[in-house]
Chains A and B, each alone.
Chain A
């Protein structure tokens, strides 16, 4: 089965460091989503892309977070500088923009900011 691949699976770093998370969507999918999951807030949509164009990043703290899709096989989420409150699991998901096909999720990047 095709899968969404996220790297790294785990990341521990100190406050103030830059963090880059990567996602390889399923080949042929044209929408990509970034979510953040915490115990307190649950699952939050941070940003999403259609055909590599950013459509909505209203869920993302603009001053420190950035999301890009340099090509159809790679999506990145960067945090600079990182803060302890950014500790969470970050999920990437991909899907189609037509019909009611489900999103396919990666296994997430567990981020800890010390």
Chain B
């Protein structure tokens, strides 16, 4: 079945470091791909999305490119801030499905 695999955390970085959180997926057809972020005490919220191969989603300095050849959607940010500390979820959605399939989440700690 369809699935999403993302790197296990926690990931701990210093402020202004470069961030990569890996995400790969398994799915038939042509899914849309998402990154959600969960801040402490809150629900998940959409960070960025990409709907077709080679699309790049971006928001708040974060970027991810839909790579169909490697079935990947890695999240990157050039210079992280303490306020980026959160749990990040990679997810996929297929056309005509209601459900979004989430990865297990990666906890990110940014040290000042």
> Which residues of A in the span 54-69 have a Cβ within 8 Å of any Cβ on B?
55-56
Given contacts A93-B43, A108-B43, contact A103 B100 (CB under 8 A): yes
Residue B62 CB within 8 A of the other chain: no
28 interchain pairs (CB within 8 A)? A4-B43, A31-B98, A33-B99, A42-B102, A42-B104, A42-B105, A43-B44, A43-B89, A43-B102, A43-B105, A45-B99, A50-B98, A55-B98, A91-B43, A91-B44, A93-B44, A97-B98, A100-B93, A100-B95, A102-B34, A102-B36, A102-B46, A103-B44, A104-B45, A105-B43, A106-B43, A107-B41, A107-B42
> From residue B48, how far is it (CB to closest CB) to chain A in Å?
10
For the complex, what is the distance from the CA of A34 to the CA of B100, rounded to whole Å? 12
Instruction: Please report whether the interface of chain B is mostly helix, strand, loop or mixed according to DSSP.
Output: strand
User: Within 8 Å CB of A45, what residues of B?
Assistant: 99
Additional pairs, 9, CB under 8 Å, beyond known A100-B32, A102-B34, A102-B36: A43-B44, A43-B102, A91-B44, A104-B45, A105-B43, A105-B44, A105-B45, A106-B43, A107-B41
> Which residues of B in the span 25-42 have a Cβ within 8 Å of any Cβ on A?
32, 34, 36, 41-42
Q: Interface size for chain A: under 10, 10 to 19, 20 to 34, or 35 or more residues?
A: 20 to 34
Kindly supply a per-residue 1/0 record for chain A positions 95-113, scoring 1 wherever the CB is within 8 Å of any chain B CB and 0 otherwise.
Answer: 0010010111111100000
- For A55, the closest partner residue in chain B by CB is B98
